[in-house]
Structure formats: structure tokens, C-alpha cells
């Protein structure tokens, strides 16, 4: 039982990171209806910004960690908006496939640039936060795991407030519902889309820093697998659906942790895709999504 709870806890902290990345995917899909393949590499850049910022701030302090997190988020928000402006905006209205290929191109560009500028060898992420282990009736919770869960929850609450309580959030929901109608009532789609990219990328950066805190070995290709899995999480919850992405991320993290703790551990990378296939075959709208009917 204790082991079960321990795995559940580990799963939730991994799932919280997936959820943060998945939110970016789902928001971009909501407003633009395409898969932003470069998102997983924004996550990687976030971890690297955290790495460089982490060497400046004093180690083992709480405010240092906060500064690193905010710097990474701001940097990636800019990067996300830049990518959108340069690569995706000129293709607005082009066939999905072309946008998809562009996204893949941007993703490769970030990965290869990372390999040239940061080097392909893994680097050790500095221990920015003070670390301690809390034991609670047989359960071990590291302070990093705790930070992951707390930060992720705070960010998700923040996102919920932005989306539902602010004007720009309302505009985001309007664009995701119907971009043309939103334009007709005076929403500036370009601004909203740019903002969405910034917001999503900032969350991915937070995910990157948190991921690096727990798995302190970062390299330019670190984003590929978490990115794909977070995308699966977004679909699992229902793509375009913000609470769905959070739910999907947590579920996926938990399932993956249980699989890697079992005798099937070598299949842990396959499980996410198996879930993806099953969900797409039986409930393509996702757990929280609403099925759409195709009209002829």
C-alpha cells in the first residue's frame, strides 16, 4: 500500500510536468487547430535558460529558484511569440500539412541550434533549490517533487484565472470557438494568437525548469519524448480543452510511473502511445472533449 501511494506521488509529480507542457499544446490547438511540434523544444530551451540563469543566482535558495523560473518563463514566452510571428503567421490559412511541416522544421532548427550552441553532451542542472526529504508514514517526498506539484498547481490556477477572468482570456476563448466571428466582434486575432503562444511557451519553460530539477541531466534533445507524451496527454484530455490537458497530463504521468515500476518497465515509452491509439480509436474527442459531428 505504501509503495502504491509512493508511486502515485511520483506519478503525480511527473504528471504535473506533462500537464504544464500539454497546456501549451492544447491552447495553441485551440486557437490555431494545429500541432505545434516545436513546443517540446521550447520546453528544452526553458530548461537551458534555467541552467544558465541557475549558475548566476546563489545555489540552494528559494528566491534564487523563483528568479530562475521567472527568467526561463519570460525568455520562452518571447521565443514562442517570435516563432509564431516568423514561422507560423505567414502561413495562416495555408493547408494544415504545410503548417505541420513548418512546425517540424522549427523544432529541428531549435534542436540542432541547441546541439551547436549548447553542445550535444548532457549537462548537469544545478541544484537551485534547497533540497530536503520529507517522510510521512513511510512515504518519501523530496522537496523538488513538492515544488513541482506546488508550482504546477499555482500556474494552472493562474492560467484558469487568465482564461476565465480577463479580457484577453475571453478573447482567447472567442478565437478558439470561432476565429472569424471573434474578428467580427472586434477581437484582434493576431494579438490573441501571439499571446497564446507566449502563455503556452512560458508554461512549457516552467515545465522544463521543473523537469530539470527532478531529472538534472539536460541536453538539446531532452524535449522530444516529454513533448510527445505531453501531446498524448493533451489528446487524452481532449485537445483544445484546458482542464482536459491538466487531467490528461496527471493521468499519463501516473500510468507511466506505475508501468516503469512494474515488470513491464522497458515498455514505458510505448505505453503513452498505446494510450494515444486506444483513445483515438474509441473516444477521439478525449476524456473531457465534446464529440463533433461532421456535416456533409
Partner 1 sequence: MPRPHVALLLSLVAAYGFSNFPGGLDPYLLDVLTGIGINIILAVSLNLVNGYTGQFSLGHAGFMSVGAYLSSAVSLFVAPKLVGELSAAGPVTQGAVFLAALVTGGFCAALAGLLVGVPSLRLRGDYLALVTLGFGEIIRVIFQNIEVLGGALGLNAIPASTSLVWVLAVAAVTVFVVHCLVESTYGRGFLATRDDEIAAAAVGLNPTRYKIVAFVVAAFFAGVAGGLYAHFKLTITPTGFDFTRSIEIVVMVILGGMGNAVGVILAAVLLTVLPEVLRPIAEYRMILYSLLLVLLMLLRPQGLFQFPARRPRG
Comparison of 254 and 275: residue with beta carbon closer to partner 1: 275
Comparison of 135 and 266: residue with beta carbon closer to partner 1: 266
The site that binds partner 1 (CB under 8 A) totals a number of residues, namely: 39
Rounded Cα distance, 53 and 65, in Å: 9
* 190: contact with partner 1 by CB under 8 A: no
Comparison of 34 and 125: residue with beta carbon closer to partner 1: 34
Query: How do 217-218 and 139-142 pair as beta strands?
Result: unpaired
Task: Estimate to the nearest angstrom the gap between the alpha carbon of 144 and the chain centroid.
Answer: 18
210 within 8 A of 147, measured Cβ to Cβ:
yes
Comparison of 59 and 269: residue with beta carbon closer to partner 1: 269
* 82: contact with partner 1 by CB under 8 A: no
* 241: contact with partner 1 by CB under 8 A: no
CB of 245 to partner 1, least distance (A): 15
Task: Estimate to the nearest angstrom the gap between the alpha carbon of 289 and the chain centroid.
Answer: 19
Neighbours of 118 (CB within 10 A): 17
Backbone angles phi, psi at 140, to 5 degrees: -115, 125
* 292: contact with partner 1 by CB under 8 A: no
Contacting range for partner 1; rule: CB under 8 A; set: 137-145, 159-167, 205-213, 263-271:
263-271
Comparison of 28 and 151: residue with beta carbon closer to partner 1: 28
Helix (H, G, I), strand (E, B) or coil at 135: strand
* 112: contact with partner 1 by CB under 8 A: yes
Neighbours of 215 (CB within 10 A): 15
Provide the b/e sequence for 21-45 (b: ≥16 CB within 10 Å): bbbbbbbbbbbbebbbbbbbbbbbb
* 280: contact with partner 1 by CB under 8 A: yes
Q: Which residues of the shown chain bind partner 1 in the complex (CB under 8 A)? A: 34-35, 87, 90-91, 94-98, 100-102, 104-106, 108-109, 111-113, 115-116, 228, 231-232, 235, 266-267, 269-270, 273-274, 276-277, 280-281, 284, 296
Amino acid at each position: 500500500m505504501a509503495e502504491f501511494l509512493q508511486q502515485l506521488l511520483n506519478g503525480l509529480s511527473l504528471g504535473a510536468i506533462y500537464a504544464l507542457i500539454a497546456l501549451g499544446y492544447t491552447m495553441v490547438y485551440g486557437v490555431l487547430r494545429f500541432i505545434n511540434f516545436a513546443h517540446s523544444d521550447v520546453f528544452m530551451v526553458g530548461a537551458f535558460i534555467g541552467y544558465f540563469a541557475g549558475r548566476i543566482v546563489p545555489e540552494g535558495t528559494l528566491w534564487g529558484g523563483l528568479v530562475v523560473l521567472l527568467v526561463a518563463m519570460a525568455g520562452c514566452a518571447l521565443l514562442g511569440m517570435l516563432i509564431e510571428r516568423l514561422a507560423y503567421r505567414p502561413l495562416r490559412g495555408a493547408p494544415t500539412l504545410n503548417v505541420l511541416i513548418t512546425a517540424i522544421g522549427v523544432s529541428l532548427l531549435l534542436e540542432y541550434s541547441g546541439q551547436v550552441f549548447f553542445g550535444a553532451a548532457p549537462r548537469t542542472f544545478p541544484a537551485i533549490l534547497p533540497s530536503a526529504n520529507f517522510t510521512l508514514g513511510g512515504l518519501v517526498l523530496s522537496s523538488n517533487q513538492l515544488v513541482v506539484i506546488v508550482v504546477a498547481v499555482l500556474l494552472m490556477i493562474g492560467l484558469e484565472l487568465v482564461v476565465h477572468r480577463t479580457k484577453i482570456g475571453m478573447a482567447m476563448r472567442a478565437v478558439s470557438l470561432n476565429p472569424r466571428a471573434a474578428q467580427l466582434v472586434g477581437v484582434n486575432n493576431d494579438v490573441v494568437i501571439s499571446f497564446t503562444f507566449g502563455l503556452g511557451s512560458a508554461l512549457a519553460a516552467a515545465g522544463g525548469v521543473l523537469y530539470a530539477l527532478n531529472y538534472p541531466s539536460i541536453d538539446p534533445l531532452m524535449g522530444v519524448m516529454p513533448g510527445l507524451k505531453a501531446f498524448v496527454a493533451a489528446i487524452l484530455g481532449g485537445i483544445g480543452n484546458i482542464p482536459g490537458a491538466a487531467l490528461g497530463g496527471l493521468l499519463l504521468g501516473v500510468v507511466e510511473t506505475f508501468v516503469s515500476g512494474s515488470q513491464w518497465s522497458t515498455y514505458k515509452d510505448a505505453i503513452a502511445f498505446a494510450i494515444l491509439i486506444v483513445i483515438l480509436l474509441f473516444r477521439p474527442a478525449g476524456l473531457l472533449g465534446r464529440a463533433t459531428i461532421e456535416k456533409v
